[in-house]
Amino acid sequence: MPRRWLNSLDVEVGANGAPLFDVAGCASFIGGTKTVPSAATPQALVATSTPCRFVWIGARVDNNGNPQNTAPCFIGDSAGQNIPILPSNYEGVVIRIDDANKVFVRVVVNNQGVVYRIFA
């Protein structure tokens, strides 16, 4: 029977070429809403260093799942924010990172933003 690859898997390897496995669970997850007051100035997702394993970021929605933003928000690092979070993107994106303070949010419309969960 022939094999077909339907999806791919990214595997991280160590210096010796052996695969690295991350099987430990998270001990905590915290979250909230990040609102950026000025479209001219991107801001860090959280104000202080927050070590973590990964961060989930999604669009702000109300209790009925309706978008609260009128334009996309963008996430990235301090140098550039080019990953769009569309107003209806309630599924969000997951970013594997060691510190949530390294994630920056840029908005197109003042006082819009994202919701997030930090898994540590």
Q: What are the tens digits of pLDDT across the range 26-79?
A: 778 899 999 999 998 999 999 999 999 999 999 999 999 899 999 999 999 999
What pLDDT does 24 receive? 66
Phi, psi of 100 (to 5 degrees): -65, -20
What is the gyration radius of the CA atoms in the chain, in angstroms?
A: 17
Q: Sketch the domain layout of the chain as residue ranges.
A: 29-119
**Tell me: domain 29-119, CATH 2.60.40, correct?**
no
Residue 94 clears pLDDT 90, i.e. is over it = yes
pLDDT of 6 higher than 60: no
Whole-model pTM: value is 0.80
- As a whole number of angstroms, the distance between CA 105 and CA 39 comes to 10
CB 31 within 8 A of CB 94: no
